[in-house]
Chain A
Amino acid sequence: MTSIVDSLVKSFSSFNLDIAVLLPVITLIGGTVIFLIMAVNALIAVYFERKISAFMQDRLGPMEVGIFGFKGGKKFWGGIGQTLADAIKLLVKEDILPNNADKFLMILAPFIIFTGAFLTFIGLPFAQNIVISDFNIGIFYIFAMSSIGVIGVILAGWSSNNKWSLYGSMRAAAQIISYEIPIGLSLLLVVLVAGSLHLGDIVQWQADHRWFIFHSPFTFLAFFIFYISTIAETNRTPFDIPEAESELVAGWMTEYSGFRWALFFLSEYANMLIVSIVASIVFLGGWLSPLQIFNIFPDSWLILDGPAIGLFWVLFKAVILIFIMMWFRWTFPRLRVDQLMYLCWKVFIPFALANLFLVSLWELIF
C-alpha cells in the first residue's frame, strides 16, 4: 500500500530537490486535498441532510436557490445552491466576541476542533492507495486524533463565559470521553482478530477471509456498538445533548458566529465522514466489492476491484452509513443525560467487554 505522500516524493525525486524544500510542497498539496474533501463533504452532506430531514417530515426543504440559475430537480431535489449560499453568508457574517470572553482561547478553540478533524484525514485511506500518509498504526492514530476535538469543545465552552456554553461543553466532554470506551473496545476486537493496527492489513484480512461484520455474531454486535457510539461521539441526534437547542441554545457553540462557527460546522460533518469511512473500512470490507462477501462468485467477476473502483466502494459504504446517521437523527428524540450514560456504561461497555472475551474464545476454537 503506497500513500500519496510516498508517490509524491517518488515523482519529485527526479528533480533532485532537498527534502527540506520538498516537504512543505508535499504538505501543502496534502493539506489542500484534505481541506477540499472537508469543504465539499460539508456542502453535499448539509444539502442532503436538509433534504432527508424534509422528506422524513413530509416537507420539501430548500427548493429555490440554484447555481447559475440551475436549481436541480423540479419535484423534490431542487435548491442545490442553498448550502453554497449559506456558506457564503457564514463567511461574510460579523465575527462576534463577547466582552467578557477569554478572547485568546475563544479564537483558538475552533481551530483545535478543526485540527482534530483535519489530522484524522491524514491517516484515513479512501482506497487501497489513496491515503495521504500510510501509518502502520493507522487505526490507533485515527482513534487518537479524533479525540483531540474534545479539548476544543471544552475550551470553546469555557472561554465563551456563558453558562449555556459551559453546560454544553461539560456534557460534551462527559459524553465523548464515555463513548470512546465502547469505540475502543469494538475496534480492539477487530485488531485482535486481524492481528494488525494497519488499515490496509485489516482490509487484506477481510479480503482473505470475510468482512468483519460477518466474522462472528460478536463482531456483528460490535459493529452496532461501534456505529452508535460514533454517532454519540460526533454529537448527533439522538445524542446531541451538548448542543440541545431546546435546552442550551446551541451548547458550546452559542457565542460563536461567522467563520468560527463555520469551522465547527465543517468539523462536525468531517467527523461524520471520518467515522463512516472508518466503520466501512474496519467492518464492511473497505474497498472490497460487496460481490465477494462470501467468496461465492468466480474470480472473473472480481473486475469490480482495484484502486479506482475501491474509492467508489469506500465512499458508497460511507454514504450509506451517513444516510443512516441522518435517518437516526430525524427519527429519534434526544436522550436525557442519565439515559445517555446508562446506555454507555451499562449497556455498551458490558457488551463490548463480553464481546472481546467471546471473540477470543471464538478465535481459539475456530
Chain B
Amino acid sequence: MSEYFSNIIYGVKSFLTGMKLTLDHFNNKKERVATLQYPHEKWPIPERNIGFDHAEYNLIRSRLHVDIDDCISCMQCEKFCPVDCIKIDFIKPPKDSDVDCGITSNDTQKKMIVSRFTIDMSECMYCNLCVFPCPEECIYMVGGPNAEKHEIDYEFSQYKRDGMIFEFADATDDMIRDAGGEKWLEQRDAKLKKNSEGVELMGIVPEATPVQVAAPVLETGTAAAKPVTAVKPLGGEFDIKSLNGIADKMCRGIAKKAFMAAKRAGKDTTAILADVAQALSDAGKMTEDIQSILDGLSAPSPEAVTPVVETEGATKAESVAEVPPTTEVKEFDIKDLNVIEDKMARGTAKKAFLAAKRSGEDKVEAVRKALGDAGKLDVAAEKLLNSFTSAAAEPSQPTAVEKTAEPTEEAAAESLAASEPAEDLPLFEIAELNGIDDKMTRGMAKKIYMAGKRADKSRTEVIADLRAGLTEAGKLDDATAAILNNLESGN
C-alpha cells in the first residue's frame, strides 16, 4: 500500500519536473530556438585564414561581377574568355545624336551603350582571365581584395538553371532605342520569344520552307539533266562525305578525286557515280564493299535531307561565321574562309581572295585555284567553296531560293562577280591594334583609328591614315608596319 502511494507521489513529482522542463524551453525560445530560416537568414561565414595576405592574393574567386557603369564595351573580356561565357552586345549611337553614354570612374568618356552583358556562371571556370585585360577594371571576381567592392555570395543557388546567367547591362529599352538600337531590340525580342516558346514546350515549330532551303546544293544542274533524278532532292544526300563509308584509305582517295573531277565538270549524280566506279576499277581497287556503297548512293534516300534542314535552321540563327554544309543564298565573304582549319591554307586562301577581289575576278575560282596550286585543297575547303559556287548574290530576296535551283555554276559565279567589287572589306576592330607593343604607339594608333572610324572611313583609308600618322611621329617601326600590312591584307 505504501508503494502505491509512493508511486503516485513519484509520478506527480516527475510529472512536474517534465512540465517545468518544457515550459523552460517554451519561455526561453529566444535563446533556444535553433532553426535558421534559411533563405532569409544565413550562417555567418567564418574568417578565412590560409596563411596569405588577402590584399595580395585573390584567394576567393566567388563570382564574376561587372561594374557596368565603368564598362566601355571594349569586348576584351569576351575575347579572352576561354569558355565563352561572357556575351556583350553594344549599340553605338550615331555620330550626330546627342546620346550621352556616360563617363567611367577613370574619367573615360564612354562611346557605346552596353545593351547586353551576360555572364553565364554555370559555364565560367574561374580562370580570372577576363579580369586582367579590362582597361577600366570593371570586371572582377567577387571576394578577396575586392571584398569592399561587392559582397560575396557563397551559395550560388538559383531556382532555375537560367538564373545562373547574370545580366549586368542596365540600359533600358528607351536608351537603346535612342542610341539607334531598334534592330538589336527586334532581334533580342525575337530570340526571347523563341526561347519562351521552347520553355513553354510548344514542340518543334515546323520550318516554313524546309525542302526549298535544302534544294540548292551540289548538283544544281541535275533537275534539267535527268527527269528521273529531278523528282528526288539529290543534293542533300550525295556529297563527298558519302564516300567516307569506304574503308580503305587509298580507295577513298581515288574515289574522292574522281568525284571532285566529275563534279567540277558539272556532271550529275549518276554520272559522278559512274566516274567514281570507273576510276576505282581502273586502279584495280574495286571491291564488293565499295560497289555496295556506290549502289546505296545511287539509290535515293529522301530521309537523309531532313536532318540537314534542321541543323541548318539552328546554325543560321546562331552564327554567321560558320558555313553550313548546304548554305543557300549567301555572300562569299573573307570571314567565311576562317572555317579553314589549316593556318597556311587559310592564309593562301585569303590572299587569293583579296587579289581576286581587287581584280574583280571570280573569288571562288581564284581561291580554289590558289589552294589547288599550293596542294592544300582538302575536303573541307572544297566543300566550303562548293557551297559558294551555288550561292546567288542577293541574300535579301526570299525568292532567291527558287532561283538557285536552276542556275549553273557560271551563272552563280557571274552574279557573284557582278556584286562583289562594290563591297569593301569591313573596318577592322580596334582590338587588332593591341598587337602593337609600345604603349605610346598603340595609344596613338588607336586614336587615329577612332578618328577614322568616326569619319566612316574605309579600311584602306584608315590604314593609310595610321601609316601617315605613325611615320610623322617617328613611331612606325618594323613590327608595327608588319601589323598594318597584315591588316591591309585582311588577315
Contact = CB atoms under 8 A, between A and B. Distances in A.
Interface of A: 52, 55-60, 63, 75-76, 327-328, 330-332, 347
A363 to B, nearest CB: 26
A327 B8 contact: no
Nearest to A76: B29
Classify the interface of chain B: helix, strand, loop or mixed: helix
B21 A58 contact: no
A59 B33 CA distance: 5
Interface residues of B, number: 16
Contacts of B37: 60, 63
A58 B8 CA distance: 30
Contacts of A56: 22, 25-26
A52 B33 contact: no
A347 B8 contact: yes
A76 B28 CA distance: 12
B34 A331 contact: no
B34 A58 contact: yes
Given A63-B37, A331-B18, A332-B18, A55 B29 contact: yes
Interface in B445-468: none
B103 interface: no
A315 B450 CA distance: 83
Contacts of A63: 37
B231 interface: no
B209 interface: no
Interface of B: 8, 15, 18-19, 21-23, 25-26, 29-30, 32-35, 37
B13 to A, nearest CB: 14
Contacts of B8: 347
Contacts of B34: 58-59
Q: Which 9 A-B pairs have the closest CB atoms?
A: A60-B35, A331-B22, A55-B29, A56-B22, A58-B32, A331-B18, A55-B26, A56-B25, A58-B34
A58 B26 CA distance: 8
B35 A55 contact: no
Contact of B22 (A75, A76, A327, A347): A327
A124 B35 CA distance: 41
Given A58-B32, A59-B35, A347-B8, A52 B26 contact: yes
A327 B29 contact: no
Contacts of B35: 58-60
B284 to A, nearest CB: 78
Given A60-B35, A63-B37, A332-B18, A55 B25 contact: yes
B22 to A, nearest CB: 4
A351 to B, nearest CB: 9
Nearest to B37: A63
Contact of A58 (B15, B19, B23, B33): B33
Nearest to A78: B37
Nearest to A347: B8
A332 to B, nearest CB: 6
A331 B21 CA distance: 8
A55 B23 contact: no
26 contacts: A55-B25, A55-B26, A55-B29, A56-B22, A56-B26, A58-B33, A58-B35, A59-B33, A59-B34, A59-B35, A60-B33, A60-B35, A60-B37, A63-B37, A327-B19, A327-B22, A327-B23, A327-B26, A328-B19, A330-B22, A331-B18, A331-B19, A331-B22, A332-B15, A332-B18, A347-B8
A365 to B, nearest CB: 25
